Chain A
Amino acid sequence: MDFAALVEQYPALTEIVGRYNYWIVIVLMMTGFYIVIARDNMVKKLIGLNIFQTSVFLLYISMGKIRGGTPPIEAAGYEIYSNPIPSVLILTAIVVGVATTSVGLALVVRIHDEYGTVESDEVDLQDNEP
């Protein structure tokens, strides 16, 4: 049975399968966000932040793709091409993400030097002791 026939039988499939890129984005985004909120370890928080940002990269890149489209190169016989702008934007955003992660990790190293731990609850505990 091919996909078209399946969709005819179960129309909801277009929402679930047809927009799979958004589902991946949402799952990744929430995973990352959850890690940022729920973990006390500062390095893990940064990893969560990275996953969170990556999901946005996917959102951008997948929106630029056109089915059957080629890379945007001018050549005879190729009419449809994908929008390159989202990919270009994301190149910039990746750079920003790398910078954020490195500044964050540098801060964690300094925090470890000063407090001897990278658990944010232990850091708070040390600060609240007079």
Chain B
Amino acid sequence: MIQEHLLVLQVVLPLVASPIVLLLRRRQVITGFTLLVSWATFALSLMILARVMDEGTLSYAMGDWRPPLGIEYRVDLLNAFVLVLVSGIGAFVAWFSPRSVDLEIRHRAYGYFYAMFLLCLAGSLGIAITGDMFNVFVFLEISALSSYVLISMGKDRRALPAAYRYLIMGTIGATFFLIGVGLIYQMTGTLNMADAAVRLDDVKGTRTILAAFGFITVGMALKIALFPLHLWLPNAYGYAPSVVSAFIAATSTKVSVYVLIRFFLTVFGYDFAFGEQNLMWVLLPLALIGIVTASLVAVFQNDIKRMLAYSSVAQIGYMVLGISLASVTGLTGGIVHLFNHGLMKGALFLAMGAIFFRVGSVHIDDLKGIGKRMPITTATFVVGGLGLIGVPMTVGFISKWYLVLAALESGLYWVAGLILLSSLIAVAYVWRVVEVAYFEDPPEGREEVSEAPLAMLIPMVSLALLTIVFGVTTDYTAGVAKAAAQMLLGIGS
């Protein structure tokens, strides 16, 4: 029963759990239930990945309506990998959340918060799992609408305009995507991605398909916050409640990157996207400008959550850079960075959540001497930070290794140089925090703070450890990513 309906359960479980949370009253029951659901979702995604690795692509016909007419859930290595990332981050964040949410969210809104959290999880998983283009739009909006609400729950009043701006930009992005899907439907008469990929062959030269391609690219570029469409991101991540920053930073842009990869390489196909349309020279410059400028801006941020948000914009640049090179190595780098960055940013934002829990601020001046008071939390931050820089033995190194390798393969030496240069900028912004945290004395008259509670430390440290584990053994990250890249580019392993 579970095996048969595995794919649909992945989305239905958090989707159904979301309204149930609203019916629960006691806070312990709400968090316990959310924790249970999110870990069950994680387990399901691991089962899906195991089956995909065994049997190849899985397909599920929604309501027994056979595709391409009915909605199809279709999972290959690429989205199985994304599902594991999203549900895994969801599970760890849910584990971390109770104490932090208790502090940052008004108690009356407790149930609503967790309902939105599960809805956002369901939406993100839905985007990744579905094989139907219109379905992608619906899930995109489910996850986006719930994340607007989650962001607006931040204690700082600036969270409200940030959520509003995200709403405007996100809706424009999603509507652009909708226009693109409509134009594809007009030319092919199908909404199923695999089916559209076949039927598009006959009509690829038409201007309608060109317009569709443009609308989808720009729409999703807004959603992934590709430079220069990233303006909504820093405030949204910076002023959201801590656990929301961690969850959204690690998942929502990642699934949108997945949608881009899916449309470029499965629906439109390599020859059209990267051959005729020369997408590489559209994405590559934007990715590089994004990497360098966002890293530079990050150096000058005094609010560490905003610093991490700008660093996210830069890291998204790396993923897009990998995609734009469109070689097996480049795509492997892009996909594996999608996963690795999720882990790193999850750990970093959770560490900030723990610091906010004890200190009540994540401003750099308030972090003075924090390394002595909260050694484990600060160590977690340092491990995540080392990952951002790309130090060997961390996941960041693996991603950058593949990206630099891909740039060299394509003969773009200056791109490889810029990747290394931007790593140096990352050293600068991570070092600022390290310096303040370890080498400065706590300000006079500040209350003594102690280490974060164990319930926060365990999920946070686990994520940080994972960034080291996957920095050493790469079979399950880079290995899977490489197989996915080969499948997408149609090159046998």
CB distance from B115 to the nearest CB of A (A): 14
Q: Is the beta-carbon distance between A100 and B167 smaller than 8 angstroms? A: yes
Q: Is the beta-carbon distance between A107 and B152 smaller than 8 angstroms? A: yes
User: Across the interface, which residues of B come within 8 angstroms of A86, CB to CB?
Assistant: 182, 185
Q: Is the beta-carbon distance between B179 and A99 smaller than 8 angstroms? A: no
| Stretch of B88-96, B170-178, B357-365, B456-464 at the chain-chain interface | B170-178
Contact residue among B134, B164, B171, B185 (Cβ-Cβ distance under 8 Å from A53): B171
Contact residue among B137, B164, B171, B185 (Cβ-Cβ distance under 8 Å from A111): B164
Asked if B145 is at the interface (CB within 8 A of a chain A CB), the reply is yes
Q: Are A56 and B178 CB-contacts (below 8 A) given A92-B138, A114-B157?
A: yes
Asked if B160 is at the interface (CB within 8 A of a chain A CB), the reply is yes
Q: Is the beta-carbon distance between B182 and A104 smaller than 8 angstroms? A: no
> Which range holds the interface residue count of chain B?
20 to 34
- Interchain CA distance A41-B186 in the complex, whole Å: 36
Q: Is the beta-carbon distance between A52 and B172 smaller than 8 angstroms? A: yes
Asked if A28 is at the interface (CB within 8 A of a chain B CB), the reply is no
Contact residue among A33, A99, A104, A111 (Cβ-Cβ distance under 8 Å from B161): A111
Asked if B76 is at the interface (CB within 8 A of a chain A CB), the reply is no
Binding site for A on B (CB under 8 A): 134, 137-138, 141, 145, 148-149, 152, 157-158, 160-161, 163-164, 167-168, 171-172, 175, 178-179, 182, 185-186, 191
19 A-B contact pairs sorted by A residue (CB < 8 Å): A36-B168, A45-B168, A49-B171, A56-B182, A59-B179, A63-B185, A63-B186, A85-B185, A89-B134, A99-B145, A100-B145, A100-B167, A104-B164, A104-B168, A107-B152, A111-B161, A114-B160, A123-B161, A127-B161
Binding site for B on A (CB under 8 A): 33, 36, 42, 45, 49, 52-53, 56, 59-60, 63, 85-86, 89, 92-93, 96, 99-100, 103-104, 107-108, 110-111, 114-115, 120, 123-124, 127
- 8 closest A-B pairs by CB: A114-B157, A96-B141, A107-B164, A111-B160, A63-B186, A60-B182, A123-B161, A110-B160
